[in-house]
Structure 1
Amino acid sequence: MQRHRKYLVITIWISTIAFIGAGFVGWGQYSYGDKAGAVAKVGDISITSGELQKSYSNLFNQYNQLFQGKFDEKQAQQFGLQRQALRQLVNQALVLNLANSYGLMVTDEELWNVIKSQPVFAKEGTFDKTIYAEALKQNNLTIKEYEASIKKELLIQKTLYLLASGSKAIEEKALGNALGISDKFNYKILTPSMITLAPNETELKALWGKRSKEFKTSPSFEISYVTQTPITATPSAKEISDYYDMNRQMLKDATGKILTLVEAQGVIIAALNDKATEKEALRLYIDYKKGALKAGVAPQKATFSTETSTFDPELTKEIMGLNDQKPFLKPRKVGNDYIIVKLEKMNPARIKTYEEAKTDVIALYTLEAKKTKLQELAQNSYKTFSGSTTDFLSRTDSAKIAGLSAQEGSEFLTKLFASKQKQGFITLESGNVVLYNVLEQKLLQDKTLADANAVLKLKGSLLDQGLIKTLESKYPVEIYVEGI
């Protein structure tokens, strides 16, 4: 959320890059309430399934970049990406309701000023409508929906700009003093491994009975498929020469040097055979759709879920996208073969029986029971514990707390310096709990002085939190999606 007009175009540009650059990532099946086409409604604004899909897709791609391409759907579930995506849209809708109540709007001129300033749509430094239309088409976006999304983003920025607040010298001094404080404290780390549990069958069944909807099977898919094996032929010299002439710029060695016709001959023959195999697979696809498979061609059958699929993730996702109206998937390459898939039946997710869910129930019971017991232990011992004593530490000394990772140390110090209690305990995201007792406090000689940007960032964060909380009390939020 930006607080200065000069940042407005930059913000829109960043969000546009994310919007255009993100591929679509599915996150499974979900059910709707009575409001057809909407997954939520905030005040007078509905949130569509398409908007939720794009929000999720953008978040998934951002995380995937942070994880260097190793982020998957299982991690997305662990990070609660579905909830994050919906939360973003709800927050946006809350601000848009406020904008509507103020009668704010974005003019076509404002919209075009932003779009024309984006380098991705420019040719030789000048906005090009053809490039603009083609870029959106390649990303499965219509001009209408793209411009509507930019208008929405601009309206949010315009609304927040009206609520912006500058920094004052006294605020910078106060924040500088706060950042310059250091504490010397005694501490002890409590971990879940300190708690021993022996859950009995009655307790486990009670938990399963109360939260059985959380233990579901994955949807499974029954398919049949036929395979086109590779065709091995000897192309004519003319076919090889013609292919070389059309594709020579792509035929290079490891150094980037274009291969000669003789050097590239093996690659060309393989490519021509693969092309012939794909062509034959398309004929097989047509026969399969018409129910006219040749004698001796018998479809194979398989049943799988996302966890048990032997296909690669992209093909698995495509198969899961089939339905009764579109049961066939065109030829897809698997190894050196091509396969044509037909969806026979989709078995929706169902609640697991107790025996099926038992392992997951034990894991959930253990996690929650240990968390509760650890809190009780912390509550009973934070006033009398005996632990390690630190030197004077500031909030930037996260790596100097023995027993905590740098991330845990940073989280602990942030919460410690925000606390008004001399003694207490702090629960970390990792599940560990740190007991503490502040022994001394002093101002550093070389304390960090906060500048205007630091003050604006802090005030902005507080404003955002307060604004969303206030708007939630003003505009009702209805969620129609199950399981988020």
Structure 2
Amino acid sequence: MITWMQRHRKYLVVTIWISTIAFIGAGFVGWGQYSYGDKAGAVAKVGDISITAEELQKSYTSLFNQYNQMFQGKMDEKMAQQLGLQRQALRQLVNQALVLNLAQSYGMVVSDKELAEVIQSQPMFFKGGAFDKTVYEKALADNRLTKKEYEESLRKELLIQKTLYMLASNARPFETRALGSALGVSDKITYKLLTPAMIDVSADEAGLKAFWEKHKKEFKTEPGYEISFVRQAPVAELPSEREIAEYYEANRLTLKDASGKILPPADAREAVVAALQEKATEKEALRLYVDYKKGQLQNIPVEKAAFSASASPFDPALTKEIAALNPNKPYLKPRKAGSDFVVIKLDKSIPSRTKTYEEAKNEANVLYTAQLKTQKLEELAKNSYRSFTGTTTDFISRTETPELAGLTPTETSEFLSKLFTSKQKQGFIALESGNVIIYNVLEQKLLQTKAIANEAAVAKLKGNVLDQGLIKVLENKYPVEIYVEGI
């Protein structure tokens, strides 16, 4: 399996699946609450394959963290909503399920041997340059995954890759030449950047209210929680020398210095004492948990808290566990919170709801104003692109990204990509940033000095086109049912 993947990796479509999500350090990100109708166990069904809420949550969290990295940690739920991350996450899972249905129809499988080869090749599970079962099991435990969950998700990923490879097509010489000619076009243009800052608009009340009516399902309150909880402060009692020695012997392989060397008993003593004290604190917290459930707390203060998912006093993982509590199972066993352990009881869940007009007015006004500016900016572009004074470039091509005054590198790349696929000599191009560029192609020529395309580039482009066509065919073959509302 490893040899096969290495030999054919350039043809494989990279799939984002649970096995990848589990090891990127992605914190929990909630997307709100939705109605699941009569299909409470799933958010969608594609052919014979159901998509669970947990899979959707993990797909969403992965996308959220990818965008958060792109935006340098400035990503928030409002931006996620505007970018349609919920829809992207669900679309991703639907596409994967379509391919899995196709794999099942051909009777394709990933054997236990193939699965083991891939797991044992992953550097994240290595120790001393080789696969280590203890490291593997600890990594899964740290990510709150069972072996069954991880291996089933990885098996799905590998099955998708095998299926897509079966349908892959190599690049032919004439395709390489044709793409080379297309990529070899070089343009000399005049362009001008139009930005929303050039537009002045004022949102009228009637228009704003009409905008809210059309989009009001997008303006939701966050889910909220009211809880009671008790704390177990850290146990400060020193463990015995025997307990320290026994713990060190049992855990010495995990007690290492910065260079990876196992610490001697004297150097590891402080860490061992801290671990034993934490263990003793958790043990006391478990007694507190039993007393709390039985209503037998004595002289223990019970604290109260009310919060939303994004304003929780607890870390994201613990907040996720609180969100999973319900009236039938309202108690949560001891969890670490700072230096203490807490035992939590859910008093009330406050579900997400659509905001009233007054509650959503400020948010809606921002989006409505942006929409008005976009419309006015495009009107300005339509009225200006046939006759404008702008900046004239040297000859530019899609394979080399020049610096264009006023544009970021990302905007330049997007502009050139759209410019070289446009059939219009004059026109305008709207960018994802909200800016618009009006342009006029003054002159064209073909580059003759070097090879523009190679077999790998053609195979990648061809593979993308074939994959898009495959998804359309599979959508007609396997019915897609979406049960979740609000996405």
- Please give the range of the TM-score, normalised by the shorter of the 2 chains: 0.7 to 0.9
* Aligned with residue 469 of structure 1, among 457, 465, 472: 472
Task: State the SS of the aligned residue for 1:421.
Answer: coil
**Aligned-pair distance for 1:50?**
4.0
* Aligned with residue 304 of structure 1, among 285, 298, 307: 307
* Structure 2 residue 145 is the aligned partner of structure 1 residue 140: yes
**Aligned-pair distance for 1:440?**
0.6
* Aligned with residue 387 of structure 1, among 362, 387, 390: 390
**Aligned-pair distance for 1:452?**
1.4
**Aligned-pair distance for 1:190?**
0.8
- In structure 1, distance between residues paired with 2:263 and 2:167: 60
- In structure 1, distance between residues paired with 2:249 and 2:114: 44
Determine if contact 1:205/1:354 at 8 Å carries over to the other structure.
Answer: yes
* Structure 2 residue 446 is the aligned partner of structure 1 residue 443: yes
Deviations 1:53-76 (A, max 9, x none): 444455456667778999776665
Q: How does 1:29-40 map to 2 (within 5 A)?
A: 29-40=33-44
Task: State the SS of the aligned residue for 1:319.
Answer: helix
Determine if contact 1:176/1:449 at 8 Å carries over to the other structure.
Answer: yes
Amino acid at match of 2:52: T
Residue 16 to residue 282, structure 1, CA distance change in 2 (3 Å)? closer
Match of 2:107 in 1: 105
Determine if contact 1:228/1:339 at 8 Å carries over to the other structure.
Answer: yes
**Aligned-pair distance for 1:390?**
0.8
Determine if contact 2:56/2:90 at 8 Å carries over to the other structure.
Answer: yes
- In structure 1, distance between residues paired with 2:374 and 2:161: 41
- In structure 1, distance between residues paired with 2:484 and 2:264: 56
- In structure 2, distance between residues paired with 1:418 and 1:9: 25
**Aligned-pair distance for 1:365?**
0.6
**Aligned-pair distance for 1:202?**
2.1
Deviations 1:186-239 (A, max 9, x none): 101111111111112222222222322211110110001112233444666666
* Aligned with residue 375 of structure 2, among 351, 372, 388: 372
Structure 2: give runs of 5+ residues left out of the alignment.
none
- In structure 1, distance between residues paired with 2:262 and 2:48: 61
Task: State the SS of the aligned residue for 2:420.
Answer: helix
Q: Which moved further from structure 2: 306-315 or 347-356?
A: 306-315
Task: State the SS of the aligned residue for 2:342.
Answer: strand
**Aligned-pair distance for 1:99?**
5.2
- In structure 2, distance between residues paired with 1:309 and 1:351: 21
* Structure 2 residue 12 is the aligned partner of structure 1 residue 7: no
Determine if contact 1:24/1:54 at 8 Å carries over to the other structure.
Answer: no
Determine if contact 1:55/1:85 at 8 Å carries over to the other structure.
Answer: yes
Match of 2:56 in 1: 52
Match of 1:402 in 2: 405
Q: How does 1:160-175 map to 2 (within 5 A)?
A: 160-175=164-179
Residue 64 to residue 212, structure 1, CA distance change in 2 (3 Å)? closer
Q: How does 1:236-247 map to 2 (within 5 A)?
A: none
Match of 1:417 in 2: 420
Q: Which moved further from structure 2: 464-473 or 389-398?
A: 464-473
Output the aligned Cα RMSD. 4.0
Task: State the SS of the aligned residue for 1:303.
Answer: strand
Determine if contact 1:399/1:405 at 8 Å carries over to the other structure.
Answer: no
Instruction: Give % identity.
Output: 58
Q: Which moved further from structure 2: 263-272 or 373-382?
A: 263-272
Aligned length: 474
Match of 1:224 in 2: 228
- In structure 2, distance between residues paired with 1:456 and 1:119: 28
Determine if contact 1:398/1:407 at 8 Å carries over to the other structure.
Answer: no
- In structure 2, distance between residues paired with 1:151 and 1:372: 47
* Structure 2 residue 42 is the aligned partner of structure 1 residue 41: no
- In structure 2, distance between residues paired with 1:349 and 1:12: 37
Match of 2:202 in 1: 198
- In structure 2, distance between residues paired with 1:136 and 1:333: 19
Deviations 1:311-358 (A, max 9, x none): 232322222222222211222233333222111000101121222111
Determine if contact 1:39/1:47 at 8 Å carries over to the other structure.
Answer: yes
Determine if contact 1:219/1:348 at 8 Å carries over to the other structure.
Answer: yes
Task: State the SS of the aligned residue for 1:226.
Answer: strand
- In structure 2, distance between residues paired with 1:114 and 1:177: 42
TM-score, reference length from structure 1: 0.83
Amino acid at match of 1:390: T
Determine if contact 1:106/1:154 at 8 Å carries over to the other structure.
Answer: no
- In structure 2, distance between residues paired with 1:41 and 1:240: 53
Determine if contact 2:18/2:55 at 8 Å carries over to the other structure.
Answer: no
- In structure 2, distance between residues paired with 1:221 and 1:257: 44
Structure 1: give runs of 5+ residues left out of the alignment.
none
* Aligned with residue 336 of structure 2, among 327, 333, 336: 333
* Structure 2 residue 286 is the aligned partner of structure 1 residue 285: no
Determine if contact 1:25/1:57 at 8 Å carries over to the other structure.
Answer: yes
Determine if contact 2:248/2:272 at 8 Å carries over to the other structure.
Answer: yes
**Aligned-pair distance for 1:392?**
0.8
Match of 2:120 in 1: 120
- In structure 2, distance between residues paired with 1:253 and 1:92: 42
TM-score, reference length from structure 2: 0.82
Determine if contact 1:60/1:81 at 8 Å carries over to the other structure.
Answer: yes
Determine if contact 1:226/1:341 at 8 Å carries over to the other structure.
Answer: yes
Residue 186 to residue 157, structure 1, CA distance change in 2 (3 Å)? same
* Structure 2 residue 357 is the aligned partner of structure 1 residue 354: yes
Match of 1:18 in 2: 20
Q: Which moved further from structure 2: 464-473 or 392-401?
A: 464-473
**Aligned-pair distance for 1:241?**
6.4
Amino acid at match of 1:140: L
- In structure 2, distance between residues paired with 1:89 and 1:236: 53
Deviations 1:384-422 (A, max 9, x none): 122111111111343421110111101100110111110
Determine if contact 2:254/2:262 at 8 Å carries over to the other structure.
Answer: no
* Structure 2 residue 213 is the aligned partner of structure 1 residue 212: no
Residue 142 to residue 248, structure 1, CA distance change in 2 (3 Å)? closer
Determine if contact 1:104/1:155 at 8 Å carries over to the other structure.
Answer: no
